[in-house]
Structures are given as structure tokens and as C-alpha cells.
Structure 1
Amino acid sequence: MKKFPNAFVIILVAIIFGWILTFLIPKGTYQREFNPETEQTIVVPNSYTQQDAPHLSPFDLLLAIPRGIAERGSLIVLILLLGGCFYIIEKTGALNQGLNQLILLLKGKELLALITLTILFLAAGFTIAMQEEIIAMVPVLMLFGRSLGYNPLTILSATFGSATVGAAFSPFNVFGVVIAQQEAQLELLSGLEFRLTFLLIASLVWIVIVVQYARKHRVEKSTLVLNVNGLTKRSKLILSLLGITFGIVTYGLVSLGWGFEEMSACFFALGLVSGLIAKFGINKTTELYVGGFKEMIFACVIIGLANSISLVLSEGVIIDTIVHGLFSPLKNVPPSVSAVLMMFSQSILHFPIPSYSGQAILTMPILTPLSDLIGLSRQVTVLAYQYGTITMDLIVPTNGALMAVIALAGVKYNDWIKFIIKPVLIIFAIAAVAILIGIQIGYQ
């Protein structure tokens, strides 16, 4: 094939394929009930039954497109406002001046810069599960990478890849570990030391992977010389406000329970203030904001389309059937084999369910009694879920953030898969070892 389909085409094909599956896979559901203590709707174990339900019409398939985009409204708003904010800051010259000074500082220390970047995004992953927030940063990150002689795949692995690995092995990923432990009726953040140990191991291995690839695939450095005399006072103020905003947002996510809307508000304000500091005036500042929106539109559409896939499978009433088919056979094998297979079953399930928090709510009530039945620790069951599910964010085309990031970086999906498949297999090997050790030591 001379030209591999772009992200838009890939996801459209996946939506149609998902619609076809709704005619081939038996329809069925688990019973669900509302838990007033946790204020969540939970799945009732052993309640799966097949049922008759009407098939989705071709028009229902078309409706899934706008509905999928609309359901991701809060995230799309965040990406648009983040993109507008960074676009304004870029136009003030502060970003380029800052990059210029950073490059001068790191001249001859490109490897140190890459390792530092990787560690920063690993930290962002295991603390706040950063992923979608990276989308708006991609243009700046690509510029930074080229100035140091690193190609897009190197920078993507050091940023998006690192954040995903950090989130997968995190002891306190709110959207993954905390929800899964809550559904498994475990003490929240329990088993911290074991997870921290394997977070460190996975992080060190990932850094080695990134560095080895970078050394073998250096590219010619691009020239970025804007102001060798240093940052202007305005640029210093704008970059300081950028750092302060990231600090406020991180605190809000970790301590105040913030979501996308609160983050959007902070970056919207930062963009306006930055434009005014640069003396653009309110008219030009808002016009630049719109210019930033245009840069992010493709990424926003990709995220919405990816959501349409799970919407089709859900409305086609086959999601629960897929869950039942993947996990029911596990009761017939030894606990150690069952745990590893559970991890890979969670990985497969992540294709139709790109939300790993949603996947935890769906699967943990089913897997918790199953693990008790076969003598498997609930803590190990949570490990199998988090390792198997979150790591797959590096691969699944239903992950809108992944598809948006690689599209903005100018990387084709097939090229990304060729690059990332070996590192992902290495990470899965570490995860499998962690699970098997957990079983041997009676990890609770």
C-alpha cells in the first residue's frame, strides 16, 4: 500500500466494523444496580443474560458520529482552549525565546535533555495520569525535539509514551487504580510499596528503550536562534505564569478533584493574560485564540470519532457479551495462568472500551468474585486490570488521545505501531512478572 490511511479513515473503518459486529455477536447484558454509598452504578456478578434487542440501523450508525463527538465535549473544549493558549504564547515569542535559552543551556547535553524530558512525563503520568493534555503541547515538543536532533518518534515515546507507562504502573492513578480498588472493595491506595517498586523498574526500562532508539535515529538539528542575549521581561513574566498555571492545575487535579472544565478555565485565562502582556490588544488576542482553535480541530474530531466506536458497541448491546466471553473461561485454569490471561483479556477489552475508568467499573465487579472463587488475590486482580488496560493506550486506535497526538506529530499509525510494538511487549513482560511475583508472595 503506497499510502496508509490517516487517523480519520482508520477510526471511520473501526466504527463501521464495530457496527458489523453488532450483527454477528449475540446481544446480552449484565444487571446493574446503583450503590448509594459510592454513588456509582455497579455490575451485578453472575447476572449476564442474552437478550433480544433491535439492530442498529445505518442511520443509527451515522448518528453515532455527532453523538460521539458531543459526548467528549468537555475534553474537546479543553484541547481547543489549551491549543489557543499555547498558540498565543507562541506568537508572543516567549515560547521560542524560552526554547532558545534552554537549547543554549543544553548544548552538547542532548541526551541529558531527553532523559529529563522522559522523567518529567513519567512523573506526569503516575501523578495525574496526563494524556489528553499532551495534545496541545505536540507542536512545541516537536520543535524542541528537532532542535536537539531527535525525530518525532523519539519525542512521542519520551512524552506520550512515558506518561502512559507512568499511569499504567502508578500506585495512585485516580482514574485507574483508585477506581479499581474501590470496585474491588480494597483499601484505597493499598499495596503502595509493591506498585512503587515495579513503577521504578518499568520507568528505568522505558528510559533505556527511549535512549537506545534515540541514539540510533538521530536527525539533523534544526536551527532556532531568536535571542541569544536572554529572555525579555515580558517573556519571563509569560513563562512564569505558564509554570504557575501548570502548578495550580496539578494541585487542583490532585487535591481539589478538578476536571477538564476547571483546567480549561485556567488555560483560557492564561491565554488572554499572555496576549495582553504582549500588548496585542483584546482584538488581536482573541483572533489568535481562534487561530489556535484551527490548529486543534483535527485532533478534536479524532477524539470524538474514537468515542463513537464504543458508543456503537454499547448501543448495539454487545459490550457485556464481549466481557462475558473474555473472562468466563478464566475460572477453569490455575490462578497464576488465570491472572496473566486476565491481564491480556483486559488488554483486548480496551479496544472497544477506550476509557480505562469505565473499564474498571464494568469489569471489576465481575472479576472480584471470580478471583475469590479461584483463589486469586483481589490486589493481583487490580494489577492485571491496570497493567493490561492502561498500557494498551499506546496501541489502540480507539484511544482518541493517541490518534490525535500522532496525527499532530505527522506520524502515520502503521509507523507508530511498528515502532511501539516491541517496547509494549517488554512492558507487558515486566507486568506479567509483577503479577506472578504478586501471587507467589501473597500480595494483598
Structure 2
Amino acid sequence: AGTDALVRALTPADAGAGGASPGQGTLVVIAVSIVFAIGGVLIGLQEEIVGLIPVLVILATRLGYDRVTAVAMSLGAAVLGGAFSPVNPFGVGVAQKLAELPLVSGWAIRLVALSVAVAIWIAGTVRHARGAWTAAAMPAAAATDASASAVAPSLAPSLAPSLAPASAIAPSLAPRHAVVLLLVLAAFATYVVGALRLDWGFDEMSALFLVLGIVAGLAGGLRVSGTAEAYVAGFRDMVGAAVLVGVARAIYLVLEQGRIVDTIVSGLLAPIAGLPATVAALGMLVVQTIVHVPVPSTSGQAVLTIPIVTPLADLMGLSRQVAVLAYQYGAGLADLFTPTNGALMAVLAGAGVRYGQWLRFVVPLFLLAMTVAAATIVVAVAIGVR
């Protein structure tokens, strides 16, 4: 949170806003969305995006787009890729193992659904981005001014020029701004190498970005006191999201340790036991979506629900693959909007996007993605996918 605030304050996010043509920006949005969707497909990419948000916001606003576009083409695309993935080890992989199905089985129908869903998401993101581009100059400057002013009032007057609204400074990147961006990219590259070769986790990522924030603050001219004050301002912006995620986690622990979640899941699934197979499968999709709100972990939800839904599927004559599809799509797509998803709330806070603002964008696309999921489940039941 502190590093995000520092990078946003030290880089003129609106420099060059509106300078690119819609066609040029569209290609960038499509390319970035595909890259992050692939990350979601392969490893369920989400938390790792938090450190990239400052760069993505700058990229989006320099193309003339808004901050929602930055979140949509990164976290949104990654969540969608993970939800429809045929190979995500933390989602469908765990569920198939618990359901005693061969890993990567049913990949063909999942791949078709993935292609359709990603195409819909990218089309929706591009449509929103083009709408934002038509009036990009003023909104981008206003968003940047608000971000900078959230930090600047608490800093010493001598530091005010460093955190002045971007509209009040030269639109091109100054050398110190370029240095800050290079530091962010270097930190992310370091984390990627560490994660791949040294098995780094969230502790190492936190330490790395703490160092990044300190070095970026000093390189940007904030000095020690200004860097510390900017960190505090960044933490303040994250308090609401952190409290929400913490309370949600506490509720989940109480429900889990008290064996209440099992009762809730069983109660939600009981009404669908006597329904026709196709309707019951769609009911499973709805139940899995609801359950993901208090259980925001996809792998945790698999461990919790798959041992319950697989015997139920056997009794109703449904294939276990269909039960896994319902879990995969319900839990995965719920990550697009559930406020208990820590990665989502952290990315929104880092990008300076209000939760309500995100909901206005994501709900229509979520409903379209759920339609694709429901259609896939209906087809899977009809053709007897195993």
C-alpha cells in the first residue's frame, strides 16, 4: 500500500493522456489482457498483480484510458483466465484430484469456454476503454490530482512540488520519474526470478516492495521523512479494504472451526437434490458462487465442497466432471466481485478505483461470463462429459 502510494505520487500518470489513438490503445489493451489471462490460466495469477498496479495505471492513463481499464485488463483478465482454465493447479486441479478424476480431463470443453469468455471480457474492456478515451484528458488529470492530493497535505511544504498534481507539472516524464518506473520494473523482474528459482512467497514479495518504496521515495526526492509520510498515507488508503478482508477471514474461521460451513453448504445443496439433472447442475453453479463469498479461497472451497457435491452428483446421475465445472466457474467468477477477495481489494485500492465504481463495470461482464459458464454446463450434461 505504501509503495503504491509513493509510485502514484512520484509519477505523472496523466503525462501524454489522450496522445495515443484509440486503435493503438486498443491493441495494447488486447495484448495486456491476453498476457494476464494466460497467467490466470496457468497459475491462477492474482496477488502477484498488486505490485504491478502502479505501472499498469500509468500505462492506461498515458494511453488516455481510466484506472478501471488498468484493473480490467490485468486482474480482471487473470481472474477470468483462472476461472475457465483447464489446467489451473489451484482450482480445477485440486477439484479434480478430490473428485478422483484424471488431471486435465475435460480440457476440450473447458478450452472452448475459455476462448469465448476471454473474448467477451476483452471486448467489454475495450468498449469501456474507448468510452473513457473520448474524454480522457480531464478525468485522467482529476484522478491523478486526487491521488497526489491524498498524500501531499500530510507532507512538509518543502516536499509539495514532488507530489504536486500531474496537471501542474510538465506532461513528459522527468528523469526522476523514469528512474522510479525503472525501479518498479526491476523489482517485479527480481520477484519473478525469485519466485521461479528461489521459491519466493508473499513474505519475500513484501520485503522486496518495502525496499522498493524506500528507494523510490529517496530517488524521487522525498527524503526520509517524506517517504515515511507517503507510506502512512498509502496505509491509510488500504485500511478499509484490510479491515473488510480481515473480518471476512475471521467469519470464515469461525464458520469452519465450528463446522458451520458444512451445514450451510449441505443446506444450500439439499433443495437441488430432487431436481432434473441439468437444473441441478445449474443449481450447483449458483451455490458455489454464493459459498465463495464467505470462503474466498478457491482451493479451500474445493476442499470444503467437492467431497459433498461429488456423492450428490453420483446420486443424481450427473458426472463428477460436471460437478467440478460448477465449482470451478462459480468460485472462480465470484472472485471478480466478492469483497472478501483480498487480491481484488488490494488492486482496487492500489489503482485508486472505488469498489462501487468497479462493480458498475464488472457486473454486466460477470453476468455474461456466468451465461457462458451455464451454457457450458448444460452442454456438458447433454453430451455426457466425463
TM-score, length-normalised on structure 2?
0.76
Shift of 1:177: 1.3
**Which residue is equivalent to 2:157?**
none
Structure 1 residue corresponding to 2:335, chosen from 393, 410, 422: 393
Q: Which residue of 2 aligns with 1:210?
A: 125
Contact 1:86-1:137 within 8 A present in 2 as well: no
State how far apart, in whole Å, the 1-side matches of 2:309 and 2:319 are: 11
Cα deviation 1:376-423 (Å, max 9, x = unaligned): 222221111010111012222333333444455555444443432221
| Superposed counterparts of 1:74-89, under 5 Å | 83-86=1-4
User: SS in structure 2 opposite 1:167?
Assistant: helix
Alpha-carbon deviation of 1:338? 1.8
Could you tell me how far 1:105 is from its partner in structure 2?
7.8
Question: Does the aligned pair in 1 maintain the 2:238–2:349 contact within 8 Å?
Answer: no
For 1:138-181, what per-residue CA distance to the aligned partner results, in whole angstroms no more than 9, with x for missing partners? 45544443333323433333233222111111122232112111
Rounded to whole Å, the distance in 2 between the matches of 1:101 and 1:246 is 29
SS of alignment partner, residue 119 of structure 1: helix
Hey, what does 1:17 align to over in structure 2? none
Give the 5 Å matches for 1:289-368: 293=235, 296-314=238-256, 317-368=259-310
**2-structure distance, mates of 1:113, 1:300:** 32
The answer to which of 268-277 and 173-182 deviates more is: 268-277
Pick from 401, 423, 435 the counterpart of residue 377 of structure 2.
435
Task: Tell me the equivalent position of 1:193.
Answer: 108
Structure number having the greater helix percentage:
2
Amino acid at match of 2:71: L
Shift of 1:132: 3.2
Aligned counterpart, 1:39: none
Secondary structure of 2:329's partner? Answer: helix
In the alignment, residue 310 of structure 2 is paired with which amino acid?
Answer: T
Q: Conserved in 2, the CA contact under 8 Å of 1:275 and 1:281?
A: yes
1:66-125 per-position Cα deviation (integer Å, ceiling 9, x unaligned)? xxxxxxxxxxxxxxxxx445556667x6x669x969997889722222223322332232
Distance 2:256 2:331 in 1: 18
Whichever residue aligns with residue 73 of structure 2, its letter is A
Distance 1:416 1:228 in 2: 29
Unaligned runs of 5+ in 1: 1-82
Give the distance between the partners of 2:230 and 2:329, measured in 1 at CA.
Answer: 41
Rounded to whole Å, the distance in 1 between the matches of 2:176 and 2:211 is 23
In structure 2, what is the equivalent of residue 154 of structure 1?
A: 69
Task: Give me the whole-angstrom Cα distance separating, in 2, the residues matched to 1:435 and 1:107.
Answer: 37
Unaligned regions of 5+ residues in structure 2, if any? 142-165
CA offsets per residue over residues 16-55 of structure 1, 9 Å max, x none?
xxxxxxxxxxxxxxxxxxxxxxxxxxxxxxxxxxxxxxxx
SS in 1 for 2:36: helix
The alignment yields a C-alpha RMSD, in angstroms, of 3.7
CA distance in 2, matches of 1:196, 1:405: 27
Residues 1:235 and 1:362: Cα distance change in structure 2 (over 3 Å):
closer
| 2:317 equivalent in structure 1 | 375
Range 192-201 or range 229-238, more displaced: 229-238
Aligned twin of 1:77: none
Question: What TM-score does the superposition give when structure 1 sets the normalisation length?
Answer: 0.67
Aligned sequence identity (%): 41
Matched, 1:130 2:75: no
* Letter matched to residue 94 of structure 2: I
The one-letter code matched in structure 1 to 2:342 is G
- Going from structure 1 to structure 2, the CA distance change for 1:403 and 1:231 (only over 3 Å counts) comes to closer
Q: Distance in 2 between matches of 1:310 and 1:434?
A: 30
Q: 1:311: Cα distance to partner?
A: 3.3
- 1:219 alignment partner in structure 2: 135
Q: Is the 8 A contact 1:128 1:250 kept in 2?
A: no
Give deviations 1:191-236, integer Å, cap 9, x for gaps: 3333222212211111111122333344332466565698999568
Counterparts in 2 of 1:304 and 1:219: CA distance versus 1, 3 Å: farther
For residue 186 of structure 2, the aligned residue among 219, 225, 241 is: 241
Change in Cα spacing, 1:249 to 1:326, as seen in structure 2 (3 Å) is farther
Indicate if the aligned counterparts of 1:88 and 1:275 stay in contact, CA closer than 8 A. Answer: yes
